[in-house]
Structure 1
Amino acid sequence: MPPRRPGRLGADFHRLWLANAVSNLGDGATMVAGPLLVASRTADPALIAGAVLAQQLPWLLFSLVSGAVVDRLDRRRLIVSVNLGRCLVLAALTGAIVAGIAGIRVIYLAFFLLGTGETLADTASSALLPAVVPADRLEQANARLMATFVIGNQLAAKPLGAYLFVVAAALPFGFDAGTFGLAALLVAALRWRPVPEPGPAGGGPDRPVRRRLAAEIVEGVRALWSLPALRMLAGCMGVLNVAFCAAFATFVLYARDRLGLAPMGYGLLLTASAAGGLLGTALAPRLRARFGVAALLRAGLLVEVGTHTVLATTRTPWVAGLILTVFGVHTMVWGVLVASLRQRLVPDRLRGRIGSIYSLLDLGGAALGTALGGVLARAGGGVLMPFWAAAATAAVVAAFAWRPMGRLDSA
């Protein structure tokens, strides 16, 4: 392929970006339509929640394995294959709904397969990005991808998915199948091709030594442990995510009982956070250029402490909305900076495995925090207890990470 012009994102990035945009839109529609589909089959809340769990469970089961697989295979071809596979799964689910044979087990199986594919495609896409984007443009590229996620998956797809389901129960899933098919075609059109690298311990560039998958996973864990900056950030992310999800596990009750909001007001609070996230993706590259990574991540630690403290003390809805907007900006700035730093520091042959460890900490922390939040709220202090606990946890993380973060600009 022709060399990329320095400082430009390039045509390959725009193909990858568009592929992410269309698949995020379809995926978001399915996230809304999935619970609606299950609810049309059963009134059991545990079975309805199980549909969400079916798509999340593969991240806990397979994320580390998926990372090792991503580092073994041609990532472009892997993304194409997985997207085509997800297209077929959704097409089959669409057909089953039309035929009237889409029971709970069929829906669960489809969502589990979709989640499994997601562990591979998302990990491969993140690992592929540094190969198609100049290093000095990683923040810009990651910011655009995250902005596309917020707009497509979080904002536009939610009403779209609900509307399509009302028109016809099968329609959102057929729509999602089409988006994955289009995404596969776009990624297949990438001009980038992998450059063979020397394999470990004597494997030549064309015939690298293949070890057991477990050994390759262990190598990824050891590689992350040997990089102090990334090890510290992974630990911070995992702990902070537990704290955040513990606080927000009962957020709907907080909005009703503490702030006195109706369901519409609760929705507006969530929209404020999403709007802040969108603003954060626009600001992240400029803020990084002006202030550097260390200052911004330190500021993010203060935002974490401040957000939980303000929510624990205020009774005013607009104050809560404002702090959630600020928090939304912080989460996207943090995400852009950490993803870009990881992509710069990690060798290409390890990017899948180390990225999968981050995903495991992210989703594992979310699951643990959600369970913990309900326990804290029930144990005493009501809906405010998780926020106070989260503020204290974030303060401890800030105290331990403040000095190491000061060295990130030279990492």
Structure 2
Amino acid sequence: MRTPGNFGRLVAASAGSNLADGALQTVMPLVALSVTRDPGAFAAVTLVGRLPWLFVALPAGALADRLDRRSTMVRVNLARVAILAALTAVVAADRQELWMLYVTAFALGVGETLFDTAAQSILPTVVTDHGRLERANSRLYAVELTANQFVGPAVGGLVGGLALAAGVGASTVAYLFGAVVLVTLTGNFRAAAPAVSSIRRDIVDGVRYLAGHRLLRALACCVGISNLASTATFAVFPLYAVRPGPMGLDGAGFGLLLASVAAGSVAGSFLVEPMTRRLGPRGALILAMGASPGFFVAPALTAEPLWVAASFIVAAAVSVSWNIITVSLRQRIVPNHLLGRVNAGYRLLAWG
């Protein structure tokens, strides 16, 4: 594994981009609240930002296999810099309107879809020893989680709380940092020669490969069912956790409870390699999926916040291995010229 060369630079670029993503998780709601207090209009900002994963994921995979993946990531980050620089100026002038936030959220969502698909597909080119993909993905995942779930939201809340425009500007700077670091990666990151087929044909080929691969198809279906249960649970969990619900938490307490999931995931990312070495990939995946019910069982058995948080930490620490092992498997077994499309199809099935 090339460290601290290309891999170190990729980790640094990922840290910058995820720091920006995390800051926006806090800043965008604050900007939305400065425009409207209507619950539906407010929630729509987040919804619009997630729509590109439904509509753009498959084309993003096809583009990741056609274009130089590093160049795609650089261009996306520069586009996000331009979008947020414009929003920073608008917010600084106190001229923000709701439609502007919808447009910004959707554009950033498109960028996230393109960037994340290319980023997940570029690693096998950076880490040439494919026997170390689990270690590389573990380290990358730990950095992404720390920046996205801990540091980013805190920075966004702190800076955005002082001045909304400064909060948006902080994300702009972080995206720019990520773009500059990505430019320093050396090598060729194009999956194959320029394609002569249509984007539609490329998408069909990727979907057909995923549907015809027994292992990948089974893994995608398993995580899709698991994510469905998780989404359904956490959609109503705030009613249970926040007072006057049974757990009786205030807003800060609820935030700390959710942070326990991220803390467990970060800790667990360092356990994936030894766990896989001891149990094998199959055994580790079974253990990871078996730990997932911990997110649902603990709140059903107790309303004590400390016990629920402890269960969340343990469940997250064990179940995070699923993400790291499965992405490493895809990177190892899928031909490089199909990897972007298969990654995109897998994630669409898993999250859709």
Higher deviation after alignment, 278-287 or 232-241: 278-287
The counterpart of 2:9, out of the listed 15, 22, 46, is 15
Summarize deviations over 1:140-183 as a string: whole Å, max 9, x none: 11111111122111011112111111221111211111111111
Contact 1:9–1:137 at 8 Å: present in 2 too?
no
- Number of the residue aligned with 1:387: none
The counterpart of 2:330, out of the listed 342, 351, 371, is 342
**Distance in 2 separating the partners of 1:175 and 1:260:** 34
- Number of the residue aligned with 2:180: 185
Summarize deviations over 1:200-247 as a string: whole Å, max 9, x none: xxxxxx5x5521211111100111122211111001111110011101
**Distance in 1 separating the partners of 2:54 and 2:261:** 26
Task: Write the letter of the residue equivalent to 2:157.
Answer: A
Contact 1:59–1:360 at 8 Å: present in 2 too?
yes
Matches for 1:259-270 after TM superposition, within 5 Å: 259-270=247-258
**Distance in 1 separating the partners of 2:191 and 2:80:** 28
Contact 2:287–2:319 at 8 Å: present in 1 too?
no
The counterpart of 1:138, out of the listed 133, 140, 159, is 133
Cα 1:298–1:196 shift into 2, 3 Å: closer
- Number of the residue aligned with 1:83: 77
The counterpart of 1:213, out of the listed 194, 199, 205, is 199
| TM-score, scaled to structure 2 | 0.95
Following TM superposition, by how much is the alpha carbon of 1:273 offset from its aligned partner in structure 2, in angstroms?
1.4
- Number of the residue aligned with 1:248: 234
The counterpart of 1:129, out of the listed 123, 140, 144, is 123
Cα 1:209–1:123 shift into 2, 3 Å: closer
Contact 2:221–2:350 at 8 Å: present in 1 too?
no
The counterpart of 1:119, out of the listed 109, 113, 117, is 113
Task: Write the letter of the residue equivalent to 2:250.
Answer: A
The counterpart of 1:297, out of the listed 272, 285, 293, is 285
Contact 2:294–2:315 at 8 Å: present in 1 too?
no
* Structure 2 residue 307 is matched with structure 1 residue 319: yes
SS in 2 for 1:249: helix
Following TM superposition, by how much is the alpha carbon of 1:264 offset from its aligned partner in structure 2, in angstroms?
3.4
**Distance in 2 separating the partners of 1:195 and 1:213:** 16
Task: Write the letter of the residue equivalent to 2:16.
Answer: V
- Number of the residue aligned with 1:25: 19
Contact 1:68–1:353 at 8 Å: present in 2 too?
yes
Following TM superposition, by how much is the alpha carbon of 1:363 offset from its aligned partner in structure 2, in angstroms?
3.0
**Distance in 2 separating the partners of 1:347 and 1:164:** 44
Cα 1:209–1:120 shift into 2, 3 Å: closer
Higher deviation after alignment, 135-144 or 302-311: 302-311
Structure having greater relative contact order (Cα 8 Å, sep ≥ 6): 2
**Distance in 1 separating the partners of 2:191 and 2:100:** 41
SS in 2 for 1:292: helix
- Number of the residue aligned with 1:329: 317
Contact 1:8–1:137 at 8 Å: present in 2 too?
no
- Number of the residue aligned with 2:147: 152
Moved >6 Å (runs of 4+): none
- Number of the residue aligned with 2:259: 271
The counterpart of 2:49, out of the listed 46, 55, 77, is 55
Cα 1:33–1:195 shift into 2, 3 Å: closer
SS in 2 for 1:191: coil
- Number of the residue aligned with 1:398: none
Contact 1:76–1:187 at 8 Å: present in 2 too?
yes
Contact 2:260–2:309 at 8 Å: present in 1 too?
yes
The counterpart of 1:353, out of the listed 332, 341, 346, is 341
Contact 1:9–1:141 at 8 Å: present in 2 too?
no
Task: Write the letter of the residue equivalent to 2:78.
Answer: L
Summarize deviations over 1:254-294 as a string: whole Å, max 9, x none: 22423333333322321221111111111112211222111
SS in 1 for 2:186: coil
**Distance in 2 separating the partners of 1:209 and 1:251:** 47
* Structure 2 residue 34 is matched with structure 1 residue 36: no
**Distance in 1 separating the partners of 2:179 and 2:251:** 38
**Distance in 2 separating the partners of 1:231 and 1:142:** 21
Give the length in aligned residue pairs. Answer: 349
Following TM superposition, by how much is the alpha carbon of 1:115 offset from its aligned partner in structure 2, in angstroms?
0.7
Q: Which runs of 5+ in 2 are unaligned?
A: none
Task: Write the letter of the residue equivalent to 2:238.
Answer: V
Contact 2:20–2:170 at 8 Å: present in 1 too?
yes
Cα 1:92–1:126 shift into 2, 3 Å: same
**Distance in 1 separating the partners of 2:83 and 2:97:** 15
Contact 2:224–2:350 at 8 Å: present in 1 too?
yes
SS in 2 for 1:250: helix
Following TM superposition, by how much is the alpha carbon of 1:12 offset from its aligned partner in structure 2, in angstroms?
0.4
Higher deviation after alignment, 75-84 or 254-263: 254-263
Following TM superposition, by how much is the alpha carbon of 1:131 offset from its aligned partner in structure 2, in angstroms?
0.4
Following TM superposition, by how much is the alpha carbon of 1:59 offset from its aligned partner in structure 2, in angstroms?
0.8
* Structure 2 residue 208 is matched with structure 1 residue 222: yes
